[in-house]
A and B are shown apart, each in its own frame.
Chain A
Amino acid sequence: MPTWVQLVYLACAVCFILALKGLSGPKTARSGNILGAIAAVVACVVPFIYLRDDLKHIPLILVAIAIGTVGGVLGAQKVQMTQMPQMVALFNGVGGGAAALVALLELEHMGSSTPWFDLAATAFTIVVGSVSFSGSMVTFAKLQELITGRPIVFPGLPIAFGGGLIASLVLSVLLVNDPTVLVGVVLALLGLGLGLLLVLPVGGADVPIVISLLNAFTGLTVAAGGYVLANTVLLVAGTLVGASGTFLTLLMASAMGRSVANILFGALKGGSTLGAGEASDRPVKSAGPEDVAILLGYADRVIIVPGYGLAVAQAQHTLRELVDVLIDRGAKVDYAIHPVAGRMPGHMNVLLAEAQVPYEQLIEMDEINGDFKHTDVVLVVGANDVVNPAAKTSPGAPIYGMPILNADEAQQIVFMKRSMRPGFAGIENELLFDPKTTLLFGDAKDSLGKLLAAVKSL
């Protein structure tokens, strides 16, 4: 490899570091992302220059890149902001799959003279890349509601998973001793199975953390692939993503008050008993939009708790209008943003920013939690688990230990709900049956529209 190529790769690696650094600050995030994109494109163009006489199949390669580009751009442009998490999962999965395929192809050039560490790294890439691929596809299916979001557990699952893990270790050792493509293919299939078994038992509410974890997996896979191909930019970029992804996973898990092991294997122990997941017939207090309008219209302090249901109903814009009217009437109104509101940490901020809600009205949980007891009305729109007191009071609940918004401390709580169906975590919310709570049933957008009209006519 010529020196200039190595220098370009070094520059690209530095750009990736700066890209990640940029992505972690609100002002620099966009330029960070663009810098990363430029570095990635430059790194991929380089082999066409320095290997121009040795590289075969260039037209076919370019066609494949064109197909991938069209697919990627179309997917990224058409996806709605509410479906962002499953799109990230999908992109992550195909990346893991690509890494596993690259390692399989590398295996072809390997023999008994290949250093054992290279072969071990190849085996790692094949297995973990496949896990990332199939795991991501399951998370995609769960979030897209192609399959149930509830944990899927069957008897013998832990044994199958453990067996698969041992089998892949044994086969990896076999591969190191005698590298053949056949063993590699079997390893890939095992990896695919392990990915399924790893993610199926994870409950819907925890899926975002799994996406982050699989993202880190793919990063490490790419790093190992970089080692096998003796390519620094792959090694550095993959390791960066692997390390930061692992760290981010831990951050997210701690925001939910859970450990990663508990999220992955909690359902297997059978200890976390999920609720019935069905509508309850206990009595609740419900009201029409006019009654709720009076509550809101004469309140001095209002806190909005937005949830994923708000975004699904595409009601962010109507909500923002309602808040504007309430502010004009002299109320102090803020949005309380739970760290995991939406489907991923920070997802709700994206959704509200899309509706042009001013940034300063979005208050994070730790800052606003003290305000609830001085609040006249809390309006919960399409959220459930993030205000469920069970997280504080019932140790058996799957969300026990997750920090929640203290909506229960307010004078009045208004829930806008489509039905009595429990939230994503599948557990009943005691707050719904609280005497201070009023329910406003209906589609969020529809109800907010009526509420807006009613408040305006006060």
Chain B
Amino acid sequence: MNESIVWLTIFVLSVFVGIEVISKVSSTLHTPLMSGANAIHGIILLGAILVTGTTDSNLALVVGLIAIVLATVNMVGGFVVTDRMLQMFTRKKPKKVSTGSTGEGSAEGKAA
């Protein structure tokens, strides 16, 4: 089989998988899902490392290092921010508070 066809096959199958795995997402999770997917494409960091590590020119090295910084921000920041969002969904449901003062206490440090 032609090598390009192999790549094309991987691409087409990935398209279907990509649509299929998120087809049942509820609108509640749209924001974290977008943010998580956003972090996943930070994997371009791998590409940035490969091109930067194999270059001989100084200019290319500088450009490559910039690409690495940008890609790392995308990847690391993306995963951390998604986790922060999801933390709030998975936290245990608090017992219903009956007085205002208790509510005040549990809210500490949240607003900032």
Across the interface, B7 reaches (CB within 8 A) one of A55, A81, A235, A244, namely A235
Q: Report A-chain residues with C-beta under 8 Å of the C-beta of B80.
A: 72-73, 76-77
B93 and A314: CB pair below 8 A? no
0/1 string, A346-382, CB within 8 A of B gives 1: 1101100111101100101000000000000000000
Tally A residues with Cβ within 8 Å of B: 122
Using known A-B contacts A61-B53, A344-B31, determine if residue A98 contacts B37 with beta carbons closer than 8 Å.
no
In the complex, what distance in Å separates the CA atom of A222 from the CA atom of B53?
A: 18
A212 to B34, CA, bound (A): 7
| A49 contacts the other chain (CB 8 A) | no
Q: Tell me if A406 is interfacial: C-beta within 8 Å of chain B.
A: no
A33 touches B86 (CB 8 A): yes
**B17 contacts which chain A residues (CB < 8 A)?**
17, 240, 243
Q: Taking A105-B60, A241-B18 as contacts, is the C-beta distance between A252 and B68 under 8 angstroms?
A: no
How near does chain A come to B11, taking the closest CB pair, in angstroms?
Answer: 5
B34 touches A108 (CB 8 A): no
A21–B21 Cα distance when bound, in Å, is 5
Shortest A366–chain B CB gap in Å is 10
Contact A68 B72 (CB under 8 A): yes
Cross-chain contact A345 with B107 (CB below 8 angstroms): no
CB pair B53–A57 under 8 Å, yes or no, is yes
> Is the CB–CB distance between B112 and A80 below 8 Å?
yes
What are the residues of chain A within 8 A of B22 when measuring CB–CB? 20-21, 23-24, 244, 247-248
Could you tell me which residues of chain A, from 169 to 207, have a CB within 8 Å of some CB in chain B? none
Whether a CB of chain B sits under 8 angstroms from the CB of A309 is no
Contact partner of A56 among B23, B54, B76, CB < 8 A?
A: B54
- Which residues on the B side are within 8 Å of A34 (C-beta)? 79, 83
Confirm or deny: A16 has a beta carbon within 8 angstroms of a beta carbon on chain B: yes
Question: Which residues of chain B have C-beta atoms less than 8 A from A65's C-beta?
Answer: 45, 68-69, 72
- A165 located at the interface, meaning its Cβ lies under 8 Å from any Cβ of chain B in the complex: no
Whether the Cβ atoms of A317 and B103 lie closer than 8 Å is yes
20 contacts across the A-B interface (CB closer than 8 A)? A24-B25, A30-B83, A30-B90, A36-B39, A56-B53, A61-B68, A72-B74, A72-B78, A98-B71, A99-B71, A101-B64, A102-B64, A105-B64, A229-B50, A233-B46, A234-B47, A240-B18, A243-B18, A244-B21, A245-B37
**What is B's interface to A at a CB cutoff of 8 Å?**
4, 7, 10-11, 14-19, 21-57, 60-61, 63-91, 93-94, 96-98, 100, 103-104, 106-107, 110-112
6 interchain residue pairs of minimum CB distance: A68-B72, A243-B18, A72-B77, A95-B74, A72-B76, A345-B30
Known: A215-B38, A349-B89. 11 other contacts (CB 8 A): A24-B25, A40-B39, A65-B45, A72-B75, A99-B41, A235-B10, A238-B43, A243-B18, A245-B34, A248-B30, A317-B110
